[in-house]
Structure 1
Amino acid sequence: MDALDLLLSRRSMAKLTSPAPEGKILENIIQAGLRAPDHGNLTPWRFVIAQGSGLQKLSDILVKAAVAEQSDESVVTKLKNAPFRAPMVITVIAKVTPHEKVPALEQHLSAGCAVQAMQMAAVAQGFQGIWRSGNWMFHPDVHHAFKLEGEDEIVGFLYLGTPTGSAMAPPKRALGDFVEFL
Structure 2
Amino acid sequence: MPTPNPDALDFLLSRRSRPAKTLTTPVPDRATVQKILTAAARTPDHGKLEPWRFVVLGAGAMPRLADLAEQRGRALGLDAEQITKGRTQFDQGNLAIAVIEVQKPSEKIPPLEQTYSAGAVCLALLNAALAAGWGANWLSGWPSHDRGFMEQALDLAPHEKIAGFIHIGTETSTPPDRPRPDLGAITTWVET
Q: Provide the identity percentage.
A: 35
Pick one of 159, 165, 178 that aligns with 2:167: 159
Give the C-alpha shift of residue 121 in structure 1.
1.1
Q: Does the C-alpha gap of structure 1 residues 67 and 173 become closer, same or farther in structure 2, counting only changes over 3 Å?
A: closer
Matched, 1:110 2:117: yes
Is this contact kept in 2: 1:96–1:151, CA < 8 A? yes
Could you list the structure 1 runs, at least 4 aligned residues long, displaced by more than 6 angstroms after superposition: none
1:125-164 map, 5 Å: 125-145=132-152, 146-164=154-172
Pick one of 60, 66, 84 that aligns with 1:59: 66
Q: Please state whether the residue corresponding to 1:41 is helix, strand or coil.
A: coil
1:1-182 map, 5 Å: 2-14=7-19, 15-145=22-152, 146-182=154-190
Is this contact kept in 2: 1:96–1:152, CA < 8 A? yes
Q: Return the alpha-carbon distance in structure 2 between the equivalents of residues 74 and 175 of structure 1.
A: 35
Q: Deviations over 1:5-55 (max 9, x none)?
A: 111112111111111111332111111221111122111112111122111
Counterpart position of 2:3? none
Is this contact kept in 2: 1:131–1:156, CA < 8 A? yes
Pick the structure with greater CA Rg: 2
Give the C-alpha shift of residue 99 in structure 1.
0.7
Q: Return the alpha-carbon distance in structure 1 between the equivalents of residues 182 and 84 of structure 2.
A: 40
TM-score by structure 1 length? 0.89
Instruction: Supply the RMSD in Å over aligned alpha carbons.
Output: 2.0
Paired residue total: 182
